[in-house]
Structure 1
């Protein structure tokens, strides 16, 4: 999915660019614009799928830009950032069928990531369903045809399918989290084992709607590709056409088989050994793991267990390759994220909790030790 940011405040643009894990979401930030005129020209050039746009822009306001952009690509999605609660803007935005709103004064990156991912899944599903409708005609839209497809997806013949769920159960959510963890550390064998457990869980009634299953499998794909990204070294990790194949898969078994096949491919492509070149790859992978787990206390032993590496060996390896200790790197990355969150308007209390600190004083002491000054210096700037 291609994403565009339209925002005249440079700090907000920087915060969005750095704080959102674009590749993890299966997205590419293709361009940024600082005024309405530039936005329209870049939109025509890149035709992004999703646009995050401020209402108040120089030269052409955000809503005028959206109106013109929709003439170029009607199916693009728009998330509007605003400092205003003026009903005039809201009414016009609703008339333009804007997809979501977010106040800049309370900008929450997790919430924005959720919006982006939701729009991405909607677009992928909509485009897949449109293709199916074109191939199958009106029958694809009929309730009987839908129920027949849903029954076939779960290999049911004549048994009543019953109401379908739209959300994963808590045990399924836990398996989903476990698979994410394994994919992030490239533990593909364990990830496939957990995927098999999830497949078994999904066959127990009440059944999950196939489009939710496919959304979940696509999330796994994006997480695996993102984990491999830092190690690619010129190799192509992502095969985005596979997303289309997953959404077109007629059965749960085929959906799972496609994902397992991709895990096997990635495992072969990025198999790690203990050669000099792969030592650097291991450290890159660990750094990526750290960046995706900054919301918790990360210990060397936890990382060593996750990667099946002796902790003493890991400590020496990390220092040898990165020229800094494991602990120093973790704390520096926490302060980097803290600065981005400060610039996006988060309070120090919110930031300390987000980074896994029990109280503000512990976070402040750590920040001052790493950066040589208190966090308030960055907050004021």
Structure 2
């Protein structure tokens, strides 16, 4: 619906237009009717209508002056003039102001108004379609430009240093004033990346939102370029002069603060920033970029998002091998699955207090936690869904020890609950072995016959045993496990419904879709 406003000091004309014109049928919604142009202007300060139908001969402020005043405020409203004057100079001025139509009140009728409104509506439709097309072209152009900048950055990181002349030409093409002579590279990383993915559903969406937000925030900044690198991190490159009058680092700190606050306020995303050293050539830029990329260690033990200058980095992390403590903490977590009413939170808290007190190498800490989780599943045979490659990927992306702590606490709570459920359902090793076999073979077709044969059990006996001990038949369990994994696989941006079906051993896509809908009440495409 398009918004329309009526302005006329003739109350009878207003009543006629308000009550007799079928606005909704014609695609319009009446936003207001005013006998005074000043009242209409005040209303336009709150909302800009798509169309204003106004009289020319009004006291205090006539219709043409009213139109000029609104247009001076950059309003994109269209106008139709009602007039008692059949004079050329009125029509001429109306044309000069871009008025859509000019109609004499003596010839005003319902049919004439319908005709005018249909023409105006079609014109608004055409203009909006054109704007959408132009916006789409601009968006594609901007995306192409960002893709070229990202490619340029990756080439710079992976290739020998270009001659300064060539590198400067490229930077100048992207809008940087290379005559300033010096550059400051900056690396920005999302502080709690998993939280951002949960909020925006995928890494691709996070990357898209971050790119658009940073570009918008830097629109008014001179000589600061944005380079996307991944969903989790991006670079800024500032061109500056080396002088005593103003400190270029102060400017980058100010910009970093602005980005941090805007991201937190509008996106609910926290960003940590590492400001590199000032350099005067391409070799210096190339040397610093990979160094900044490995800066996760500098953020890992921070209590929140930070802004750090590379020459102010705190002391290096502890060099002791964390794995000499592996058996101790592995045993503590194992006991949580065996003991009833174990204090999970206390054990996890103690573990991470130890980690933070020693400030171990972050990559080793992540590997340590991943191995703990993996061994819990393999040693104790509890049938919790555990995609080790995904978990390893997720843990590797965690930039802060608090993310790792939250992840392990959640994992252990789920593991203990699931282990208790299995214990209550069955103590029979055959059931546990069957469920483990299912978990390891979700990628292929699993039959009752092959599992019974693997367990050296009679087919009918195994079928009855499984139903008795778990409350569901074996094939129902297999299907349920496959559908649960399908939910995870479908979240991957490169996975189509057909690909996920094949990954779970279903040759028939339609059958997979049917099963998924039966389990979750919506199709895989709707879920995606």
Task: Say whether the fold is shared (TM-score over 0.5).
Answer: no
Which is bigger in relative contact order (C-alpha 8 A, separation at least 6)? 1
TM range, smaller chain: 0.3 to 0.5
